Chain A
Amino acid sequence: SAVISQKPSRDICQRGTSLTIQCQVDSQVTMMFWYRQQPGQSLTLIATANQGSEATYESGFVIDKFPISRPNLTFSTLTVSNMSPEDSSIYLCSVHGTSGGGDTQYFGPGTRLTVL
């Protein structure tokens, strides 16, 4: 199993500012994933972060808005830039792992972002 922590757990930010969310895993992993969950919605993948290379973004998400760093195999950051109220969401990081002989995903507790 993998234990994932995120900082901050929540924040309230002003329009136009940026927030960097940290994700720490207790073991080395190749890929880390960042998801967004808008209010009342399900999760949508933002990007996949590999150590040593640029992140791969899903359709509708761009690096200028959501820059990602992956400096080592246990840590990643996601920045939400030039925020607007539409960015108010829960942001979750996750990693792939194995459990009971099968593949699974482990998720962090999430960062609840409110943009005023």
Chain B
Amino acid sequence: KQEVTQIPAALSVPEGENLVLNCSFTDSAIYNLQWFRQDPGKGLTSLLLIQSSQREQTSGRLNASLDKSSGRSTLYIAASQPGDSATYLCAVPYNAGNMLTFGGGTRLMVKP
């Protein structure tokens, strides 16, 4: 059974810092890995999708990397802003289907 873990569970940083969020998974036979953002009480917004054949994806100040062999992914946020404050979730598909297994999330607070 696939298990997804995110570290740290919570993170508080001053504005402007570069930061790294970590995601690990137990079964390396994944099709892809996705990073989502969730604002309090809201649904999920997809940030980045990395296919199993890719090493990284970039979108603006966000960069996600994937190392299948070690079962790890990182989300790098450059020059953090208060608007980045949210919960960040990573997820991988399971059972060869489209259902997702989610990590526990990292709650990020960026202070002005």
Interface residues of A (CB under 8 A from B): 31, 33, 41-45, 48, 90, 92, 94, 96, 99-100, 102-110, 112
Contacts and interface: CB of A to CB of B under 8 A. Distances in A.
A110 B31 contact: no
Nearest to B87: A42
Contact of B43 (A99, A100, A103, A108): A108
B44 interface: yes
Given A33-B99, A103-B49, A103-B98, A109 B43 contact: yes
A1 to B, nearest CB: 9
Interface residues of B, number: 23
Nearest to B94: A45
A96 B89 contact: no
Interface of B: 31-32, 34, 36, 41-46, 49, 51, 89, 91, 93, 97-100, 102-105
A103 to B, nearest CB: 6
Given A31-B98, A42-B102, A42-B104, A102 B51 contact: yes
Interface of A is mostly: strand
Contacts of A109: 42-43
Nearest to B51: A102
Nearest to A48: B99
Contacts of B91: 43, 105
